[in-house]
C-alpha cells in the first residue's frame, strides 16, 4: 500500500489499523537539539481522543504515546523519531455484521475492489483513528514553529446549519478549548448543542466547517508551481477523513467579486510592504506574503448512522444495514487538532525547504 508518507523534508510515515495492536509513525527531518515538551504532545493527543463528551464515540482510549527513538534527554537527535500509541479499547465484535457489507459512503467497496482483502473492524487503515499519528507528528512540528513565533489555531465555525457570523479575534480563538464544541461563539455553541442532541435522537449525523488561522508567518514559504504553499495545505486537509472541501482566503466567494474589489493593495509601513486586505489568505503565487494565513475545511456528515439503510455485500446480495457500535454524531470538534496538526506539518516542512532554497542560507 502506497501513500503512507507525507512531506518532503519533515516526513511522517504512519502505520496501524483502528482495531490492530497500535497506531504509530516515524517522523524524519526534525532538526537536532529541539527541546521537546512531552506534556504538550500528550495534551495534543488528548484533544482528539474519543470519549470527551456525550456527542462523540465513547471508545475509551488513553492514547498514551511512547517514543521509541530519536529523542534523548527530551531533545531531538536529528535521527528518525519513532513513536507508538497502543490500542486498548477495541470492540471488534461490533463490526462482525459488516464483514462482507458495503456501508454507504465508506471505503469498504473501494478498498475491496483495489486490494481484494480488507480489515473490516472499525474501517481498518481507512479509519479516522489513523489521524492520531498525524496529531503526534504535528505536535513536534508545532514545537518547532513555536521557536519561530508561528502560531496555528483552528476552531469550529459551523456544525450542520448553525454557523457563527464572522471570524473572531485571536484572543477569542485562543480560548476555544473552553468551549465543549471548540466554537468561539458561546451563543452559537448552545444552538449547535441543541442541533446535535436533536440529530442524535434521530439516529443521524452532522457535518460542519473548521476555520484555521496561522499568525507570525514569514514571507517566502512555498514554491511557485506544483509545490505552492496553498496547494500543499489543500492536500493536507483533503487527506483528512470526511473532508469534502477546502478554501483559502476569499475562497469560493471570489467568483462573484470583481478584480478591483478582490485585489489586495499594498501599503508601506517603514521599510516593510504589507497588504491592506487579505483576500489572498496570506499566500500569493503559491508563496506566503507575511500576512496571516486563513482557510476553511468542510467536513461531510459521518457516514455511519443509527438508521436502517439498504446496501449490498461483497457477494452481490442486497442487504439491510442496521447502525451498531460506538460512533460520533459529528466529527468536527474532534477534528480541530487534526487540522492544526496537518497545517503545522506543512508550514514546518516548507520553512525548512526555504532554508535551503538560496545560497544565502547554505
> Does the structure show a pLDDT above 60 at 215?
yes
More confident residue, 147 or 103: 147
Residues in the chain: 362
CATH at 169: 3.60.150.10
Kindly give, in sequence order, each residue whose CB lies less than 8 Å from that of residue 352, ignoring residues fewer than 6 positions away: 9, 10, 29, 31
Q: What are phi and psi of 214, to 5 degrees?
A: -120, 115
Largest CA distance in the chain: 72
Q: Give the mean pLDDT of 260-269.
A: 94
- Supply the range of the domain harboring residue 159: 5-361
Q: What does the pLDDT read at residue 359?
A: 47
Q: What does the pLDDT read at residue 358?
A: 61
Q: What does the pLDDT read at residue 57?
A: 55
- Tens of pLDDT, residue by residue over 204-214, are 999 999 999 99
Q: How many domains does the chain have?
A: 1
Residue 13, SS3? strand
* % of the chain at pLDDT higher than 90: 70
Amino acid at each position: 500500500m502506497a501513500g503512507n508518507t507525507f512531506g518532503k523534508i519533515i516526513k511522517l510515515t504512519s502505520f496501524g489499523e483502528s482495531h490492530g495492536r497500535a497506531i504509530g509513525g516515524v517522523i524524519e527531518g526534525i532538526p537536532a537539539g529541539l527541546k521537546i515538551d512531552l506534556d504538550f504532545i500528550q495534551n495534543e493527543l488528548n484533544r482528539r481522543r474519543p470519549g470527551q463528551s456525550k456527542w462523540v464515540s465513547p471508545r475509551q482510549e488513553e492514547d498514551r504515546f511512547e517514543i521509541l527513538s530519536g529523542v534523548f534527554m527530551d531533545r531531538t537527535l536529528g535521527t528518525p523519531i519513532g513513536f507508538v500509541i497502543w490500542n486498548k479499547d477495541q470492540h471488534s465484535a461490533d463490526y462482525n455484521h459488516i464483514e462482507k457489507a458495503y456501508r454507504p459512503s465508506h471505503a469498504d467497496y473501494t478498498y475491496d475492489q483495489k486490494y481484494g482483502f480488507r480489515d473490516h473492524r472499525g474501517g481498518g487503515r481507512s479509519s479516522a483513528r489513523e489521524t492520531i499519528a498525524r496529531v503526534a507528528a504535528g505536535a513536534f512540528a508545532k514545537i518547532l514553529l513555536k521557536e519561530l513565533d508561528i502560531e496555528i489555531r483552528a476552531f469550529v465555525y459551523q456544525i450542520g446549519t448553525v454557523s457563527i457570523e464572522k471570524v473572531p479575534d485571536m484572543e477569542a480563538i485562543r480560548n476555544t478549548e473552553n468551549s465543549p464544541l471548540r466554537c468561539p461563539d458561546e451563543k452559537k455553541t448552545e444552538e449547535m448543542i441543541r442541533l446535535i442532541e436533536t440529530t442524535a435522537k434521530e439516529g443521524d449525523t452532522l457535518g460542519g466547517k473548521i476555520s484555521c488561522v496561522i499568525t507570525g508567518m514569514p514571507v517566502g514559504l512555498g514554491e511557485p508551481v506544483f509545490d505552492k504553499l496553498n496547494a500543499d495545505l489543500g492536500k493536507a486537509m483533503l487527506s483528512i477523513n470526511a473532508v469534502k472541501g477546502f478554501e483559502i482566503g476569499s475562497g469560493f466567494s471570489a467568483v462573484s467579486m470583481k478584480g478591483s474589489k478582490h485585489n489586495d493593495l499594498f501599503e508601506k509601513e517603514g521599510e516593510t510592504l504589507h497588504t491592506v486586505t487579505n483576500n489572498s489568505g496570506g499566500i500569493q503565487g503559491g508563496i506566503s506574503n507575511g500576512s496571516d494565513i486563513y482557510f476553511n475545511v468542510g467536513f461531510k456528515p459521518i457516514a455511519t448512522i443509527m438508521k436502517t439503510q439498504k446496501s449490498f455485500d461483497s457477494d452481490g446480495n442486497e442487504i439491510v444495514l442496521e447502525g451498531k457500535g460506538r460512533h460520533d454524531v459529528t466529527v468536527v470538534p474532534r477534528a480541530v487538532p487534526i487540522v492544526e496538526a496537518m497545517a503545522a506539518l506543512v508550514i514546518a516542512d516548507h520553512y525548512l525547504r526555504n532554508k535551503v532554497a538560496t545560497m544565502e542560507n547554505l
